[in-house]
Amino acid sequence: MEKLAIIGCGTMGHSIALSAALAGLPVKLHGINFLETERAQRSIIDKLNVLSENGLLDSDNSELVKNRISITHSIPEVAEGASFIIETIPENLEMKRDLFLYLDEICDVDVILASNTSGLSPSKIASGTLNPQRIVVTHFWNPAHLVPLVEVVRGIHTNDQTIKRAFDLLKCMHKQPIEVKKESPGFVGNRLQFALLREAQYILEQGIASKEDIDAAVTFGIGRRLSATGPLISADMGGLDVFSAISDYLFCELSNAKNASPELKKMVEENKFGVKTGEGYYKWDKSFIEKMNQKREKELIHFFVQDSKVAKPTL
């Protein structure tokens, strides 16, 4: 069993730690100061409470899971004895490269060093290290304790043993890892996600449908189907002759924009960032934020329960 350590205890770091603990793995979690780690501990407790409220944990098991996570403010301490380290610090290439240079110096050569970056190049993160073969991206999706997908991304020097150990660990955590065989901006998930977002922006721009109906077309239509069958298997099931014919006349009508839509850029210029500022495509007051968070969490817990029937969390 890998001895797991996580550097960074923000949105992703503490949630990845919780995912490991739910699977029965002890994990060391690093934060830069007391305030950050205290916030992480509160968030872990809140998430455990939600799982308990949905009948997935009782109080004794919640305490057991929580106790599998140990907290430290020292990088050498969190790295000591670890065999697999996941970095979840901010999306800044220079910061990540500096951290990996340091970890490459202080860790034994057989320790795997992974980044949770959602799009930065693993080869650039590993640049300058003496052991780039053990550096890999493990991109968890938010919230990491409920979403099973993890993208495992090779750098140009990442070796097969590193990929295998990453897959083995993630499967122990009851995750669904996929291998991104070569570096590509956005990896796989974000390329698909932003292709959908680009077309949604275009449909809204063209006045084809309202924002509410565009979102409804996904949540009550393709979103329901895609949860069972991805785009390629859906095409097979629908008939490739049909999908080929539709592609021939529809692709030329789809957006091929090279940048974010003018409306999106305008909202950003007006400091309308969505939930962060209270307004974006929608207005986000406290009650709407709570409603949408609860709705998303309820849906994800539904799938978490279904996944757990296949790979039951170790409590």
Average pLDDT score over residue span 78-85 = 97
Q: Which of 89, 91, 92, 120 is nearest to 103 (CA)?
A: 89
* Structure confidence at residue 311 (pLDDT): 55
Average pLDDT score over residue span 256-281 = 96
* Structure confidence at residue 59 (pLDDT): 81
Report the catalytic residues. 118, 139, 151, 190
- Mapped to the 3 state alphabet, what secondary structure does 103-126 carry? HHHHCCCCCEEEECCCCCCHHHHC
CATH superfamily of 4-180: NAD(P)-binding Rossmann-like Domain (3.40.50.720)
* Structure confidence at residue 216 (pLDDT): 97
Average of per-residue pLDDT values in the chain: 95
Among the residue ranges 110-114, 149-153, 295-299, the one predicted with the least confidence is: 295-299
Average pLDDT score over residue span 226-243 = 96
> Does 239 have pLDDT greater than 90?
yes
**Integer CA distances (angstroms), 139 to 103, 154, 188, 306, in order:** 19, 11, 10, 22
- Asked, colleague to colleague, whether 4-180 and 189-256 share their fold, the answer is no
* Structure confidence at residue 10 (pLDDT): 94
- Segments making up each domain of the chain, as ranges: 4-180, 189-256
* Structure confidence at residue 93 (pLDDT): 97
Cα dihedral value 17, 22, 28, 29, nearest 10:
30
Average pLDDT score over residue span 26-55 = 94
* Structure confidence at residue 240 (pLDDT): 97
CATH architecture of 189-256: Orthogonal Bundle (1.10)
* Structure confidence at residue 286 (pLDDT): 95
d(CA 165, CA 177): 12
pLDDT band at 22 (very low <50, low <70, confident <90, very high): very high
* Structure confidence at residue 1 (pLDDT): 87
> Does 5 have pLDDT greater than 60?
yes
Output the pTM of the full model. Answer: 0.93
Which has more confidence, 294 or 5? Answer: 5
* Structure confidence at residue 23 (pLDDT): 95
Q: Which helix (H) or strand (E) holds 27?
A: strand 27-30
Q: In angstroms, how far apart are the furthest CA atoms of the chain?
A: 60
With contact defined as beta carbons under 8 Å apart, do 310 and 303 qualify? no
> Does 310 have pLDDT greater than 80?
no
